[in-house]
Structure 1
Amino acid sequence: MRVKSSAAGHSCPGCGRWSTRVHSSYLRFPVDGPVAGRRVRLSLRVQRFVCGNPSCGRRTFVEQIEGLTRRHGRWTEQLRATLASVGLALAGRAGARLAKVFGVSVSRSTVLRLVEEPPDPVPPTPRVVGVDDEYATRKGRTYGTVLVDAETRRPVDLLPDREASSLAAWLAERPGVEVVCRDRAPFFAEGATAGAPQAVQVADRWHLWHNLSEAAERAVARHRQCLSATTPLVGKAITVESADREENADQPWPTGHRFADRTRARHAEVHALLAAGHSRRAVQRQLGMTWRTVTALADAASPEELFRGQWQGRPSVLDEYKPYLDDRWNEGCTNAWKLWEEIVSLGYKGSHQRVGAYLRQKRTSPRPVAAQPPSPRTVAGRILRRPRALSEAEQLQLKTVLAQCPNSTP
């Protein structure tokens, strides 16, 4: 399509002075949106004017047709707006694929650049602003702050960190804020006080309920013994492993234990070589053992003597925490990893495998079987819920728990 500008003059973009003096003209070829499936390319002749203002830095300038062209633009304004809308809806790669469907060849980087060109809309100053740290640029390390209009429930702005100074600077630029709705973080309180001293600071409903539920759960956890008292014993479970353990109660390391089997094998090898006439030094060189190990194996008439002398009664770093593990086991907690985390917070320095081995011994031993007591979170949830929202079984169990706890009030 051949188009020619017929304007008699144009304003200088540098100083704004109107000029009618034509310097020259040339052709521009902006691309427009397709028509009937065919690409449209304009052959547009524009005029170059001379600026008559001697103090202006521009000697000449080219006219720009409003709504059609811009400086250095290769597309019409309508096509540029269309590609920007596609990029906002589909992002770069998918937007570039869709642009090819209606006859415009464009890269994904160009689509993203068109999306970033328009300035960010400036929302009106909210009267009630909600402040919370809801997003992370690096999980566990770097968190940002989300600012929300609490009345319209729409995000207003994002702060790059959780510092009080950033929130104070944001609020200082918007004196119209009347209420700051925040959590109980101290840096948010400091920032709101410094940036908006006229605003009223309140806690939002979610954080109030969340803090209340955490406090109730901690209170119930302090009376954990009362929960296990509500679960009577229902029988005695005896497994095959526990029966074998009772039969071999006099053997500290029964058959099948890797340390016991290795010691039995070494004991048999040493005594077989000694019976064949080899000296202890020759046995040491042949088996690659230390002199102390060969002497201990040779002096022991049976491997069981080594068991009782070497392993039985040896102190362990876990001995101090076994009463706590026994109490938690009787309460129904049998997760080795969770129990290990609990005793680590109490000062335990050993490994998780040692805790798991101790619990495996308890699993294979005969023990009373009790029903699983309710967790502190379950009991706290029932306390906080309305009574009519609980089933009859839940109400009965809650009454039983409260009746077993001496510190509960009706």
Structure 2
Amino acid sequence: MSVMDVNELVQTVFSGLSPLVIEDVAAEGERIVVRARTPKDTAVRPICGASSGRVHGYHWRTVADIPVDGRRVVVRVRVRRLVCPTRGCRHTFREQVPGVLERYQRRTARLTRQVKAVVKELAGRAGARLPAILAMGLSRHTALRTLLRIPLPTGRVPRVIGVDDFALRRRHRYATVVIDAETHERIDVLPDRTADTLQAWLRAHPGVEVVCRDGSATYAEAIRRALPDAVQVADRRHLWHNLCEAALSEVKAHSSCWATVLDTPLYDGPRAQTTLERWHQVHDLLDQGVGLLECARRLQLALNTVKRYARADQPERMLRVPKYRAGLVDPYREHLRKRRAEDPAVPVQHLFEEIKTLGFTGCLNLLHKYINQGRADADRSHLSARRFARMLLTRPDNLKAGHHDLLARLTAACPELTQLAARIGEFAPLLTPREENTDELSRWIDQVREVDLPHLHSFTRGLDRDRDAVNAALTLPFSNSPTEGVNTKTKRIARQMHGRAGFTLLRHRILLG
């Protein structure tokens, strides 16, 4: 290979060092040493801006560059110290090479960019391990310092923002994230979720017109105090979630109705007897004019528990279907039914041996329990209240073929379940924003209040307490879902750092996106 070819190869491999004059490239074991010098052009003093070419002396700078062939690259550059040409100034200054050598840095600019890209994704220890594999030596402390030196994006305060809280330490410490609800960019992270903190931030960042939030009364009060003219938008996902919880509670309260359709016995153990006794105790006190809080104190129950008993007008509505989860025996239920129909006296041990040859991996006690609970003799596998509620809340087009008839039979078990299915079907279209949804919601609330569905009544009372924000959610295209997405990514960042990140570091990573 000719000398010209070697020079071209060097210029190609080390093209990022093109502002320098490369004089020699040498391989020294596990590293490659590049010797270079700065060109003999004039340099500008950063303080006064005067150009100078008068050399006062020379010295060497050693910096790391991006690796080549899996080996570290060290660049030794001879730089000049120049004399300032300003009259009466005897100061000297060291020339810089923008884009290659930065002041006080031990890495080239292009290596620094790669390191920043790594630590932005991995932060401390993980951010130090990966560069080590790529032949870029880096300690975890240097990785964190490099990460915190990455400038945060700054921009205008958006017109529409989303706010939501996330846990720094679950049930102990929380923080608030603020994003642009239109572009989904992170705007800021606040150290807590108090009303005063959010109120101060909103007053310090004027220009916000619409705020998307969840059902938090704290955030609502802060927005009301700081931006009385701003439009508050509730989160449609939380509205649907709250309706799902209310529907599940109604399904549980009517277990005695729909369980008869499936010939599923209600739980009648000691817990059921205690439940009935507590129902009578609560309603006896209520009939005497005792308040809910005093009932809770006398019976030594939680206030919400007393409310749940008070909401049920009949003791049977407190009884539940047994909670049977899907088990290892379920795939062999049809075989068990067939064998027990042919020979009612067949020993359980024989059944155990038969299904074991079919692939059953459980134990004999599990099969005994399954048969004693009556699950092997049922016409179909057990249906829990949660599964029934899930069918009610699923889009009809997405239901399985056999679920349509089953759902029709279950909802026809009592008038209340029929009304519940109808009200759910009428509320779902309201979650598509339209101008007429405000009037439709008012009519829907009036229809719900005419039906004996106390848990759904509680849901409507929650809608009334935050009616303006709910109306905005059902008529405007804005949503707090992007903020929930940022919170999901925040949890991933926290898990990646094993929950040990301080607020400053976590905030920096969140805002860098």
TM range (shorter): 0.5 to 0.7
The separation in 2 between residues aligned to 1:186 and 1:131, in whole angstroms, is 13
1:42 alignment partner, SS class: strand
The separation in 2 between residues aligned to 1:373 and 1:34, in whole angstroms, is 62
The separation in 2 between residues aligned to 1:235 and 1:101, in whole angstroms, is 61
Counterpart amino acid of residue 100 in structure 2: L
1:116 alignment partner, SS class: helix
Measure how far apart 1:162 and its partner are: 0.7
1:93-143: CA deviation from partner (whole Å, max 9, x where unpaired): 44434434443333233233222221122355433222111x211110111
1:14-66: CA deviation from partner (whole Å, max 9, x where unpaired): 3444445543321212222233455433332222234466999x943222111
The alignment yields a C-alpha RMSD, in angstroms, of: 4.4
* 1:140–1:86 Cα change, 3 Å: same
Equivalent residue in structure 2 for 1:116, among 148, 171, 181? 148
Q: Is the radius of gyration larger for structure 1 or structure 2?
A: 1
Equivalent residue in structure 2 for 1:142, among 170, 173, 177? 173
2:414 alignment partner, SS class: helix
Partner of 2:463: none
* 1:149–1:235 Cα change, 3 Å: closer
Mean Cα deviation higher: 182-191 or 194-203? 194-203
Aligned sequence identity (%): 39
* 1:323–1:36 Cα change, 3 Å: closer
The separation in 2 between residues aligned to 1:157 and 1:386, in whole angstroms, is 37
2:237 alignment partner, SS class: helix
Partner of 2:128: 96
Counterpart contact for 1:147–1:158, Cα < 8 Å: yes
* 1:161–1:383 Cα change, 3 Å: same
Q: Map 1:214-253 to 2 at 5 A.
A: 214-217=245-248, 220=250, 224=253, 226-232=254-260
Partner of 2:405: 392
Whose relative contact order is higher, 1 or 2, with alpha carbons under 8 Å and at least 6 apart?
2
1:306-327: CA deviation from partner (whole Å, max 9, x where unpaired): xxxxxxxxxxxxx998713899
Equivalent residue in structure 2 for 1:164, among 177, 189, 195? 195
- What is the number of equivalent residue pairs in this alignment? 290
Mean Cα deviation higher: 72-81 or 378-387? 378-387
Counterpart amino acid of residue 127 in structure 1: R
Measure how far apart 1:373 and its partner are: 9.0
Equivalent residue in structure 2 for 1:345, among 294, 298, 302? 302
Tell me, which stretches of 5 or more residues in structure 2 are unaligned?
Answer: 1-33, 266-272, 282-298, 306-373, 420-449, 454-513
Counterpart contact for 1:51–1:60, Cα < 8 Å: yes
Tell me, which stretches of 5 or more residues in structure 1 are unaligned?
Answer: 237-318, 328-341, 349-368
2:301 alignment partner, SS class: helix
TM-score, scaled to structure 2: 0.47
The separation in 2 between residues aligned to 1:386 and 1:36, in whole angstroms, is 57
Q: Map 1:301-340 to 2 at 5 A.
A: 323-324=277-278
Counterpart amino acid of residue 114 in structure 1: T
TM-score, scaled to structure 1: 0.57
Measure how far apart 1:217 and its partner are: 4.7
Partner of 1:264: none
Equivalent residue in structure 2 for 1:61, among 89, 93, 98? 93
The separation in 2 between residues aligned to 1:381 and 1:81, in whole angstroms, is 50
Q: Map 1:6-405 to 2 at 5 A.
A: 6-51=39-84, 59-122=91-154, 125-133=157-165, 135-217=166-248, 220=250, 224=253, 226-232=254-260, 323-324=277-278, 344-345=301-302, 375=385, 389=399, 391-402=404-415
